[in-house]
Structure 1
Amino acid sequence: MSKLAPVLLVEDHELNRDMLIRRLNRAGVEVIPAGDGQQALELMRSAQPRVVLMDMNLPIMDGWTACRTAREDDSIKHIPIIALTAHASEADRQQAMDAGCDDYATKPVDFPGLLAKIESLSETGN
């Protein structure tokens, strides 16, 4: 896979974040880390990532609120967001999509599937 740059990874659990950063880097993906929804919005505005991987259960501002806020902001509403969550029901998936997510991935992460989603959405993103 060619270098995909950059992807914003929003994950408050440090071990999960570090593991995903290492795996994404090995796959040729540049990663910008964030630990909460408010920081994610700030980094979306300043870094303009190709794709956002958004945990939904976050401190300060949760992922649902961050997604809805991003979709109302003309400077970042075009950036694709993939929900990353342990909530695996169809209702949870629909809630993420209703909040403005473009795709949905459950934890534990199917890494090849996640890479395919990143690659697909980075082609349609900014």
Structure 2
Amino acid sequence: MNKKVLIVDDDPRNIFALKLTLKAKGYQIESSTMALEAIDMLKNDQNFSAVLMDMMMPEMDGYEAIKIIRNTPLINQIPIIAVTAQAMPEDRQKCIDAGAQDYVSKPINVDILLTVLENLS
């Protein structure tokens, strides 16, 4: 399985921590702090096996970004995992309804995240 993951998060510290963890597990990591840039990255490289999408970002939130990805034929099949500090059951459903395959709450439990990534393949 291709293990190339795009991390989209407006906080570079979150990207840094996730990058270290996932690289140690054999994943190739690209990252972006802005949703629009991330969408362009996906369009330019269809080899990502998953996107970790922060749902709360300033200029465009994850819900809007997922909607755009799902409506873009070139990239609409890529699995998206919503990542959010909002951990109520209805938040999970909101992410799934927006088009995410799965949902991981912050602070991220690495074991849960790895299980979710492995289950995508």
Q: Which amino acid aligns with 1:69?
A: I
What TM-score do the two structures reach when normalised by structure 2?
0.94
Equivalent pairs counted in the alignment come to: 120
Structure 1 stretches of 4+ with a deviation exceeding 4 A read none
Residues in 2 aligned to 1:43 and 1:114: alpha-carbon distance in whole angstroms: 22
Secondary structure, aligned partner of 1:18: helix
Task: Note the C-alpha offset of 1:4.
Answer: 4.7
Per-residue CA distance 1:31-90 (angstroms, 9 max, x = gap): 010111111111111122110000001122110000011111110110000000000001
The alpha-carbon distance between structure 1 residues 85 and 15, as it changes in their structure 2 partners (threshold 3 A), is: same
Residues in 2 aligned to 1:41 and 1:99: alpha-carbon distance in whole angstroms: 16
Structure 1: gaps of 5 or more residues: none
Structure 2: gaps of 5 or more residues: none
- Counterpart for residue 62 of structure 2: 63
Residues in 2 aligned to 1:118 and 1:4: alpha-carbon distance in whole angstroms: 11
Superposed CA RMSD: 1.2
Residues in 1 aligned to 2:3 and 2:116: alpha-carbon distance in whole angstroms: 14
Q: Which amino acid aligns with 1:94?
A: Q
1:10-49 residue pairs with structure 2 within 5 A? 10-48=8-46, 49=48
What TM-score do the two structures reach when normalised by structure 1?
0.90
Secondary structure, aligned partner of 2:3: strand
Residues in 2 aligned to 1:70 and 1:4: alpha-carbon distance in whole angstroms: 20
